[in-house]
Amino acid sequence: MTRLATPPVPTRRALLVGAPVLAGSLALGTSPASAKDPVLHPGDRGSAVKTMQKDLAARGYWCGSADGSFGATTTQAVYALQKAAGLAKDGVFGAKSRAALKKGTRPKPRITSGTAFEVDKKKQLLYCISGGTLKYILNTSTASGKKYYSGGRWKTATTPSGDFKMYSFPSSGWQTAPLGRLYRPGYYDRGWAIHGATSIPPYPASHGCSRLSVAATDMLWKGGWMKKGRRVLVH
């Protein structure tokens, strides 16, 4: 029997200088799947992140400027997409999130006319509607449903449902309230408001208000969204 010669294994140097690679081999540190559709995580940077940001913004998932940096504002947008699509809310832009975005996944608000805010407690999303059209989809965190102690008694964190109008804007910056700090709040029902916060997890965690990121809150103020008489539908 004739013994077949064993083909030589390419050295690291041969791979680096461009020598022919045997069939079935891959260049170091790469794979066709990851090169085509990379899984993006908070903290990542680069052109793939910038493309993702542009695609998110085109679908209404506000993430600030497309700067190629997967920071906190972009993470909030990915949370919003994942909530709208019914996916695990991990903030990682993987295959399922990419498919949902490519498919054009967007929630369907109840408000179909006028300019208003709509807080969807089930999905934990806040919709910004302009002229009856859904413009922005923002991650929000409403009441946790947990007990807390305030004013000499125990209370339950709740976000009441209803159709309200904004009536008070007591601070142009951070406001210290009995239950914590609120950034540029817009009150619409007694002590309930839409406001910025430093923590907006992808689940209900507030005492009752609808939390948004500081960046999103600034965007809404700059765009004229926060004004007296603005409709706020909570359901």
- Active site (catalytic) residues: 195, 209
User: Which phi and psi angles does 194 have, rounded to 5°?
Assistant: -100, 125
Task: State how far Cα 171 lies from the chain centre.
Answer: 25
> In sequence order, which residues have a C-beta less than 8 Å from that of residue 100 and are 6 or more positions away?
81, 82, 84, 85, 87
Is residue 171 a contact partner of residue 217, using CB atoms and an 8 Å limit? no
| Residue with token string 């430093």 | 198
Q: What does the alpha-carbon distance between residue 22 and residue 153 come to, in Å, rounded to a whole number? A: 74
Angle value at C-alpha 142, between 137 and 147, nearest 5 degrees: 170
Tokens at 167, concatenated: 């009536």
Q: What does the alpha-carbon distance between residue 219 and residue 57 come to, in Å, rounded to a whole number? A: 14
Q: What does the alpha-carbon distance between residue 33 and residue 15 come to, in Å, rounded to a whole number? A: 20
Tokens at 171, concatenated: 């601070």
Listed in order, strand segments (DSSP E) in 99-173 are 116-120, 125-130, 133-139, 147-150, 153-156, 162-165
Tokens at 145, concatenated: 């449903």
128 HSE (CA, 13 A, CB side): 22
